[in-house]
Chains A and B, each alone.
Chain A
Amino acid sequence: MSHTAYVVFTVFSQMAVGALIAMVIADFLGKDKKFFETASWVIVPAVIISLVAILSHEARPLLAMMTMSANVGSSWLSRESLMLTVFAILAVIYTCLWIFEPEYGSFKRICKPVHGLIAKIAKPFVPFRKPLGIIFALVGIAFLFISARAYMLLGLPAMNHITTPLFFIVTALLTGTMLVAAVLSIKYMMAPKEYAEPLGAYLGVAWKVVLGSVIAGIIVLAGYLRILKGAAASYGAELAQGMTLTNILSGEMTTVFWLYVAIGFILTVILVAAVAAFLKKDVSKAAVLSIVLFASVLVGELMGRLVLFGANVPLGEVMPYVLSSII
């Protein structure tokens, strides 16, 4: 089974949700909206990458696009794909409310006539961007839970735990917040004097979110390893969990796992340095560290997800041992 598609799909879809949440936060900061508007461009590409990744995994991608939501009544995968479609549409609408804003919407630099036309349609909705953003973010969070539930199957004992949605939420907050921070930092570097204040305001909130997410991530990871070591609902599940833990700590995924831990450590060091720079009001250094932090967060999350999917032992693999002991 190819894990790459699942890794890219889950990380990028969660990054898109996190980026939308970060943009809603930025909208509430009440500073330079023109500055924050640039970061709104990143939500839709992240959703598109996740969609392409998941469709590339299917044997019949075109048929999958048409029929994947056919069984929402009982299939969590159907529900996940339906929620992803809904979130993708909402992400496009939310982005339009930023980039087609009549005053500072940057689409007018790309195509003025089109901007003028869509800006007229978007204008009555722009004042409602904040409440709509909150609603869309809640839909995004609902998508995270449904997406996690799709992997919480009896056939995948190692993922059938509360840690799966917690991992997904941590990924969304870490990658999304840092993606927006990285884009804003690049924009800041183009005109440091002009954008120092709004970037500072955003980073002030972003560091708190990232710090909280890192701490939560460490707790969830420790909890996950503890759960894998512990008792399970059935003998088969216990065997599968034990083999998953072996794959992580002394098996095929060990190198990736320790690289993931090392990146997590480096990330924490960079984060501390970035917070220190920020506290010293050195926004330019904080901006550079934001970009480095985003890169390490992205690589770390991709590796972590690779471990989560790659080390996972499905129940089908251990069932012969279970059957041999009971029949």
Chain B
Amino acid sequence: MVNYKFVHDKERCIRCGGCFAACKQQNGVPEDISRINIVTIDEGKSGERHITMTCMHCNDPPCVRACPVKGISKREDGIVINDKDKCIGCEYCSWACPFGAPKYPDTGPAELRGIMDKCTFCVIPYEQTDEYGTSILRAPNPKCAGFCATKARLGGDASEITATYNERVAGRLVERQIGV
């Protein structure tokens, strides 16, 4: 069964901000928040590295258990989504989440201010229709991973992306050992 996940390859990330911009553009993320945070560790020192912080779509998401209104749910394909119609903006999920993924915008449409916003793996989290009443659906195809110039951000079925990542790690280990 498919289980969508993200993997971040810190050795490859150059902090170009492509994932951040693609996510904002694709999902109409409000101005004052971002679904992806890029954190730089040891900035300006040797060993400087960049980590992207976003929803990890946990197997047992603490936010789902914490949400008092059952607004957050996990789909069969592993994607954790938030129903913005149910959300009351209590911010409790941000305490429960160990990755600080839930965000609460102060800008944007009035009815969505203070309402939790998070990564949806670029699917439309709940049924929406276009101007002709046709249901809009979007396949899980995260733009952040698609736009990543160095392919540091991998998004897709856990078994596939883990295999890709493991190959890279193994390759790097070999390179270091033989000194290439």
Contact = CB atoms under 8 A, between A and B. Distances in A.
B2 interface: no
A319 B39 CA distance: 10
Contacts of A64: 69, 88, 90
- Interface secondary structure of B, over-half rule: loop
Contact of A315 (B41, B51, B98, B104): B98
Given A155-B97, A314-B94, A327-B10, A320 B69 contact: no
B68 A317 contact: no
Contacts of B114: 58-60
Interface stretch (A65-73, A88-96, A114-122, A291-299): A65-73
Contacts of B113: 59
Interface string A32-68: 0000000000000000000000000111110110011
Given A1-B91, A236-B98, A314-B95, A320 B70 contact: no
Contacts of B97: 155, 316
B67 A75 contact: yes
Interface in B80-110: 86-92, 94-101, 104
Contacts of B104: 59
Contact of B10 (A1, A67, A78, A324): A324
Contacts of A68: 68-69, 88, 90
Nearest to B106: A59
B169 to A, nearest CB: 9
A323 B51 contact: yes
A71 B68 contact: yes
A319 B58 CA distance: 14
B86 A155 contact: no
A75 B90 CA distance: 12
- Interface secondary structure of A, over-half rule: helix
Contacts of A76: 66
A301 B90 CA distance: 23
Nearest to A67: B69
B91 to A, nearest CB: 6
The bracket for how many chain B residues form the interface is 20 to 34
Contact of A155 (B53, B69, B96): B96
A310 to B, nearest CB: 14
A81 interface: yes
A70 B67 CA distance: 9
A70 B91 CA distance: 16
Given A316-B94, A321-B41, A60 B88 contact: yes
A320 B88 contact: no
A75 B115 CA distance: 18
A249 B176 CA distance: 44
Contacts of A320: 39, 41, 51, 53
B179 to A, nearest CB: 24
A153 B96 contact: yes
A77 B89 CA distance: 13
**Which of A59, A67, A68 is the most central at the interface, judged by chain B CB atoms within 10 Å of its CB?**
A59
A63 B104 CA distance: 17
B108 to A, nearest CB: 12
Contacts of A153: 62, 66, 95-96
A316 B101 contact: yes
Contact of A58 (B10, B51, B90): B90
B49 interface: yes
B15 interface: no
Nearest to B165: A327
Given A153-B95, A316-B94, A324 B88 contact: no
A7 to B, nearest CB: 15
B89 A155 contact: no
A222 interface: no
Contacts of A321: 41
Given A153-B96, A155-B98, A324-B10, A59 B53 contact: no
Interface of A: 1, 57-61, 63-64, 67-71, 74-78, 81, 150-151, 153-156, 236, 314-317, 319-321, 323-324, 327
24 contacts: A58-B90, A59-B114, A59-B115, A60-B89, A60-B115, A68-B88, A68-B90, A75-B67, A76-B66, A77-B90, A77-B92, A150-B92, A151-B95, A154-B62, A155-B95, A156-B95, A314-B94, A314-B95, A315-B98, A315-B100, A319-B100, A320-B41, A323-B10, A324-B51
Given A1-B94, A57-B90, A315-B100, 12 more contacts: A58-B88, A70-B70, A153-B62, A153-B95, A154-B62, A154-B98, A314-B100, A320-B39, A320-B53, A321-B41, A324-B10, A324-B41
